[in-house]
C-alpha cells in the first residue's frame, strides 16, 4: 500500500481525552476514531490489526475442533426472561422496543441464544461434546466507558459455548479452552497469566481470567515470578498451571505458597475469561439430549470469552516506547514500512518503487511512505505506527544500490544491498 493512496488520518498533537498510552497512540496513529462515548470507528490500519487478532483466535479455536457460527447482535427479550437474566442484568443491557412494541436488546453476551439454538437442533448424545463460537460485536452500557477500546460500550468479543453430557466432559472442554487461550495469547507476543476468578453476571462454579501484565491494568495480581520466566520458552501449560497466581481479592498472604522473594505483584489487563456453569442455562431451557441409555440428560455448559478489540489496546500497553507502538509481528498491520527519503530524486524513487514491487511480489505486507514530506515527519510516523521493520532509502544509498534496515523493537540498524534487504523478509 502506498501512503499517498491510503487513508491514514494521523493526529499531530496528543489527544486531550486519552489517559492511557494505548488510547493516545491509537488515536494519534489513526487506528480508531471515537463516534460517541465508548463507541469507535475502526480506521483501515486499526481494522487490519483487529482482523489479524481475530484470525489468530479463529485458527487456535478451529485447531481444537471448535466450530464457528455467527449470531445476531440484536436479541429478543423472551430468551432472557426464560433464563431470569432480563431483570438481573440491570442497566448495562441496552434495551429498546421495535415498531411492534416487542422488547429487544443489543446482546451483551449470548448464553441464552446459543442454548436456544442447541435445544432446537441437538437431540442426541451422539452430537456432543460440541463447542460453538463466534466473533461478534457486543454492547454493554458501561457506567464509565474509558481508555478507548479498552473499556468500550460496543466491543468485539470472541465468545464460545461448550455442551457436554456431564461435569467430567465439561471439565475437559474447559481445559481445552484454557490451553487454547494460552497458545492464542502467546502467538500475539503476550504473557497471559490465568487467575481464578468470580463468575459474576455469567454465573457458575469455576472461572478463570486471563490477565496480561501492563502498568495501566485495572487488576492487581500476585504471582510466582517463575511464570514470567516461562515466557519465550515452549509453552509448558502443566507447569504454568502448577504455579501460583491470584487477583488481589483472592490473594491470601497467610496461605500463599510462594516465598516473599519469589512473589511478584503487578497490574494486569483482563483479555479473556472462561466459565463452567453446569446446567444454569440448560436446565431452565430444557436443553436435554438422549443419553446412550435412552434417558434424557441435561447438558453441562461452559462459556469462554476473549476481548478481541480490547486486545488491540492491551498489546499496545504491553509493547510500546516513547516514540510509539511496537507491534509484535503476528498482529502488525504491515510487516515492513518503506521510507522514501527524497521522492523528488529520481534514482531514490526508482529504487523504492522496485523494492515495493518486489516485496509485493513476494507476498510481503508493505506500507510505502511515498509522501512528499520531510524525512523527520516520515521517521516519526513510522515509529508511531510501529511496523516491525523499516526500510529506509535515500539518495546516497540509492546511488550505490544500498538500503538501510531498522528494526523497530531494538532500534538496531543495518546497511544492506537491495537484494540482501529483500531476502530478510
Ligand atoms: C464468556 C463468553 C462473558 O461475557 N460470556 C460469553 C462470557 N465473559 S466476560 O468476562 O464478561 O467478557 C469476556 C471478555 O470480553 C472483554 N470485555 C470488554 N472489552 C472491551 N470493553 C468492554 N466493556 C468489555 N467487557 C468485557 C474482556 O476481555 C472479557 O474478558
99 dihedral zone (left: phi>0; alpha: psi -120 to 50; beta):
alpha
**Atom number of ligand 1 nearest to Cα 272:** 30
Specify the domain boundaries for CATH 3.30.930.10 within the chain: 3-324
Specify the domain boundaries for CATH 3.40.50.800 within the chain: 334-423
Average pLDDT across the chain, whole number: 95
Distance between first and last Cα of the chain? 16
User: Is residue 352 classed exposed, middle or buried when 0-12, 13-18 and 19+ CB atoms within 10 A define those classes?
Assistant: buried
User: Is the CB of residue 115 below 6 angstroms from any atom belonging to ligand 1?
Assistant: no
| The CATH number of the domain covering residues in 3-324 | 3.30.930.10
Cell of 28: 494519534
Residue nearest to atom 22 of ligand 1 (CA): 151
Choose the residue to mutate in 90, 148, 156, 157 for probing ligand 1, maximizing ligand atoms within 8 Å of C-beta: 157
User: Is the CB of residue 204 below 6 angstroms from any atom belonging to ligand 1?
Assistant: no
Backbone angles phi, psi at 27, to 5 degrees: -70, -45
Residue nearest to atom 20 of ligand 1 (CA): 151
User: Is the CB of residue 304 below 6 angstroms from any atom belonging to ligand 1?
Assistant: yes
Asked if 408 and 386 count as a contact pair (C-beta separation under 8 A), the reply is: yes
* Residues near 207 by beta carbon (within 8 Å), at least 6 away in sequence: 196, 197, 198, 199, 273, 274, 275, 276
* 211 CA → ligand 1 middle, Å: 12
User: Is the CB of residue 202 below 6 angstroms from any atom belonging to ligand 1?
Assistant: yes
Residue nearest to atom 2 of ligand 1 (CA): 305
The length of the chain is 425
**229-258 exposure pattern, b = at least 16 Cβ within 10 A, e = fewer:** ebeeeeeeeeebeebbbbbeeebeeeeeeb
Q: Which residues of the chain have pLDDT under 70?
A: 232-233
- Rounded to an integer, what distance in angstroms lies between the CA atom of residue 52 and that of residue 417? 31
Instruction: Identify the pLDDT of residue 238.
Output: 85
Choose the residue to mutate in 305, 308, 312 for probing ligand 1, maximizing ligand atoms within 8 Å of C-beta: 305
Instruction: Identify the pLDDT of residue 232.
Output: 65
User: Is the CB of residue 310 below 6 angstroms from any atom belonging to ligand 1?
Assistant: yes
* Residues near 60 by beta carbon (within 8 Å), at least 6 away in sequence: 180, 183, 184, 187
Residue nearest to atom 4 of ligand 1 (CA): 109
User: Among residues 209, 204, 142, which one has the least CA distance to residue 170?
Assistant: 204
- Rounded to an integer, what distance in angstroms lies between the CA atom of residue 315 and that of residue 217? 12
- Which tens digit of pLDDT belongs to each residue from 166-185? 999 999 999 999 999 999 99
Residue nearest to atom 8 of ligand 1 (CA): 305
Q: DSSP 3-state assignment of 276? A: strand
* 228 CA → ligand 1 middle, Å: 24
- CATH architecture group of domain 334-423: 3-Layer(aba) Sandwich (3.40)
Residue nearest to atom 10 of ligand 1 (CA): 273
Bridge-partner residues for 195, per DSSP?
Answer: 209
Amino acid at each position: 500500500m502506498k501512503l499517498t493512496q491510503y487513508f491514514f488520518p494521523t493526529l499531530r498533537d496528543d489527544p486531550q481525552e486519552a489517559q492511557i498510552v494505548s488510547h493516545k497512540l491509537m488515536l494519534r496513529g489513526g487506528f480508531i476514531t471515537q463516534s460517541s462515548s465508548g463507541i469507535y470507528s475502526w480506521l483501515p490500519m486499526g481494522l487490519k490489526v483487529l482482523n489479524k487478532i481475530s484470525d489468530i483466535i479463529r485458527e487456535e479455536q478451529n485447531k481444537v475442533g471448535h466450530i464457528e457460527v455467527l449470531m445476531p447482535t440484536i436479541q429478543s427479550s423472551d430468551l432472557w426472561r426464560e433464563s431470569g437474566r432480563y431483570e438481573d442484568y440491570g442497566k448495562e443491557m441496552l434495551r429498546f422496543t421495535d415498531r411492534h412494541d416487542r422488547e429487544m436488546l443489543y446482546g451483551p453476551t449470548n448464553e441464552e441464544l446459543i442454548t436456544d439454538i442447541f435445544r432446537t437442533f441437538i437431540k442426541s448424545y451422539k452430537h456432543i461434546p460440541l463447542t460453538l463460537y463466534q466473533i461478534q460485536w457486543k454492547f454493554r452500557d458501561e457506567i464509565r466507558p474509558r481508555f478507548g477500546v479498552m473499556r468500550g460500550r460496543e466491543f468485539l468479543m470472541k465468545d464460545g459455548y461448550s455442551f457436554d453430557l456431564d461435569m467430567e466432559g465439561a471439565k475437559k472442554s474447559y481445559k481445552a479452552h484454557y490451553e487454547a487461550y494460552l497458545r492464542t495469547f502467546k502467538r500475539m507476543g503476550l504473557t497471559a497469566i490465568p487467575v481464578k476468578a468470580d463468575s459474576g453476571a455469567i454465573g457458575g462454579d469455576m472461572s478463570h481470567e486471563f490477565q496480561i501484565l501492563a502498568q495501566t491494568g485495572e487488576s492487581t495480581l500476585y504471582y510466582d515470578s517463575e511464570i514470567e520466566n516461562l515466557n519465550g520458552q515452549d509453552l509448558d501449560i502443566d507447569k504454568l498451571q502448577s504455579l501460583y497466581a491470584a487477583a488481589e481479592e483472592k490473594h491470601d498472604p497467610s496461605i500463599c505458597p510462594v516465598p516473599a522473594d519469589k512473589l511478584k505483584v503487578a497490574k494486569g489487563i483482563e483479555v479473556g475469561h472462561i466459565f463452567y456453569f453446569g446446567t444454569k442455562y440448560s436446565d431452565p431451557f430444557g436443553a436435554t439430549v438422549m443419553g446412550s441409555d435412552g434417558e434424557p440428560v441435561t447438558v453441562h455448559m461452559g462459556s469462554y470469552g476473549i476481548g478481541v478489540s480490547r486486545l488491540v489496546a492491551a498489546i499496545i500497553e504491553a509493547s510500546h516506547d516513547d516514540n510509539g507502538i511496537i507491534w509484535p509481528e503476528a498482529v502488525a498491520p504491515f510487516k515492513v514500512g518503506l521510507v522514501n527519503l527524497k521522492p523528488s530524486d529520481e534514482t531514490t524513487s526508482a529504487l523504492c518503487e522496485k523494492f515495493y514491487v518486489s516485496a509485493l511480489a513476494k507476498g510481503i505486507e508493505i506500507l510505502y511512505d511515498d509522501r512528499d514530506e520531510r524525512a523527520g515527519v516520515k521517521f516519526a510516523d513510522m515509529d508511531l505506527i510501529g511496523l516491525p521493520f523499516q526500510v529506509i532509502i535515500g539518495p546516497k544509498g540509492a546511488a550505490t544500490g544500498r538500503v538501510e534496515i531498522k528494526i523497530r523493537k531494538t532500534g538496531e540498524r543495518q546497511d544492506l544491498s537491495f537484494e540482501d534487504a529483500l531476502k530478510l523478509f
